[in-house]
Amino acid sequence: MSTIAVPGALAPRRAWLTDLPLLLVAAVWGASYLAAKDVTTARTVIAVLVLRFAVALPVLVAVGWRSLRALSAAQWRGAAVLGLILSGIFLLETYGVVHTSATNAGLVISLTMIFTPLAESAVNRVRPARGFLAAAGVSVLGVVLLTQSGGFTRPSPGDLLMLLAAVARTGHVLVMSRSRAVRGAGALPLTTVQLGTAVLVFALLSAGADTTPWAAAADFGAREWAGLLFLAVFCTLFAFFVQMWAVRRTSPSRVGLLLGTEPLWAAAAGIALGGERLGAAGLLGGVLVIAGTVWGRRAAG
């Protein structure tokens, strides 16, 4: 996300008018894990990914056509590399949520907020603050407790895939921030090229998959189409345009803080709508993950 300086503090009324759409984005992102779990099976992951982003991509291309044409060849190549990483993230997340609960998925992926500052410190050879390291320890302990249902057992394959997705998200952020090729590129064309690259990767993978996008679409009922459109329209298009709108009206740190409530909404959706249950250890783990990430954000800031 590009940082834009904002002079002065927003008036309370204007601040809330900006905060509420951002909270809605965090809520739909939190609900996206349950929606993806409801729409997708292990056999249809790639097909659903093709359909989800094939719906959103034409809108992004139409809106950002002029800015796409303004990209240099180096910016196209840099954005395409980021798109390859992004495709890996979506594969890990979607396969992960198929094999774990939506609650676990949303909470484990929030570790990105801890992993990213740790990775930046390692790359820049700067020792993290003690408070941040303590917050990271709290978050890791929370994940250990969260992924243990009914006693200490091995984490599920889905939990491990979500953990890898959090690592991949961290890598994506680092590459984006350090890549000279994409510097100066606007958020809209950069996102469009990345999603276009991801769709191409998914389309190529679908050629050898068990279920093609067209076969999956033919088997969809009203519930599955509603879930797919929710993922494409609200979790992709609406979320992207709200972020672009909000970051020009408030501080990037405030945007990050509000979007950081995503794991709370993921847990709420999983428990209230998905019928998922957390035992005492899992509940404590979820609280520790959230507390550790909030503490870590403040310590890193």
Q: pLDDT per residue over 43-94, tens digit each?
A: 999 999 999 999 999 999 999 999 999 999 999 999 999 999 999 999 999 9
Dist CA 173 CA 138 (whole Å): 23
With a CB cutoff of 8 Å and minimum separation 6, the contacts of 127 are 121
Question: Using one digit for the tens of pLDDT, what is the confidence trace for 210-260?
Answer: 789 999 999 999 999 999 999 999 999 998 888 877 766 766 656 666 777
Q: Is the pTM here over 0.75, yes or no?
A: yes
The dihedral over CA atoms of 70, 76, 78, 80, expressed in degrees to the nearest 10, equals 140
Does the pLDDT value for residue 149 go beyond 70?
Answer: no
Contact (Cβ atoms closer than 8 angstroms) between residue 199 and residue 54: yes
pLDDT at residue 24, as a whole number: 92
Strand ranges (E), the chain = none
Question: Using one digit for the tens of pLDDT, what is the confidence trace for 104-141?
Answer: 888 888 888 778 888 888 888 888 788 878 888 888 78
